[in-house]
Amino acid sequence: MPLVFIGPMAAGKSKIGRRVARGLGVPFIDTDQRIVAQHGPIEQIFTRDGEERFRQIEREVVADALREQAVVSLGGGAVLDVDTQAELAGASVVYVTVSAAAVAERLAGTDRPLVAGDGVAAWERIFTARRPIYERLATLTIDSSRTPMMRLVDHVVAWHKEEQR
């Protein structure tokens, strides 16, 4: 069963997940990277085919990734899929949260299509709608707003090792 990172856009799922995988000595999968490798840039999928198509592709990539023995970082909206929700129930799920204040500068110049229009306002709206899902699925919650990335990484690695004993 993989160790999975969930949470809102720009919380740090991809960056923290990659370093946790290195710390644990297991493979790392970023589902957005796989989507891009197979279908091209995410903005392009959104504008050319629409969000619904993106979610279909995402679901296929996520389903494959969750069968692997790896650390898996999902895109922020992947948990909207009910099959993904079912697969994550009972898994090791790290929820990375972040404040709107801290995320503001991380969104500057972002290519994430869902926040391309009105930045932090859109980010907050989307996060508020999804927060109950993140909270329900989480087995560990970390906040990246003020804590240096490597401290979070060390914490998750130690937690996971303890959990597996």
Ligand X SMILES: O=C(O)C1=C[C@@H](OP(=O)(O)O)[C@@H](O)[C@H](O)C1
Question: Which position among 3, 6, 11, 14 is part of the footprint of Mg ion (CB under 5 A)?
Answer: 14
Report which residue's Cβ sits closest to Mg ion: 14
Place of tokens 């069963």: 1
Residue 9 is a binding residue for ligand ADP (CB under 6 A): yes
Contact by Cβ (8 Å): 123, 115: yes
In this structure, what token pair is assigned to residue 93?
A: 């799920």
Nearest CB to ligand X, comparing residues 109 and 164: 109
In this structure, what token pair is assigned to residue 124?
A: 């907050």
**Contact positions with ligand ADP (CB under 6 A) in 17-46:** none
User: Which three-class secondary structure state does DSSP give residue 96?
Assistant: strand
What does the chain come to in residues? 165
For the chain, the C-alpha Rg in angstroms (whole number) is 15
Residue 14 is a binding residue for ligand X (CB under 6 A): yes
Contact by Cβ (8 Å): 3, 109: no
Query: What is the distance between the alpha carbons of residues 111 and 17, in angstroms, rounded to a whole number?
Result: 20
- What is the full DSSP assignment across 141-153? EEETTTS-HHHHH
CB of 157 to ligand X, least distance (A): 20
Question: Which position among 6, 16, 65, 88 is part of the footprint of ligand ADP (CB under 6 A)?
Answer: 16
Nearest CB to Mg ion, comparing residues 13 and 34: 13
Known binding residue 161? Answer is no
Q: Contacts with ligand X: how many residues (CB under 6 A)?
A: 12
Planar angle of CA 75, 76, 78, nearest 5 degrees: 65
Residue 103 is a binding residue for ligand X (CB under 6 A): no
Question: Which position among 113, 138, 140, 154 is part of the footprint of ligand X (CB under 6 A)?
Answer: 113
List residues forming the annotated binding site for substrate. Answer: 32, 55, 76, 130
List residues forming the annotated binding site for ATP. Answer: 10-15, 112
Residues that bind ligand X (CB under 6 A): 9-10, 13-14, 32, 42, 75-77, 112-114
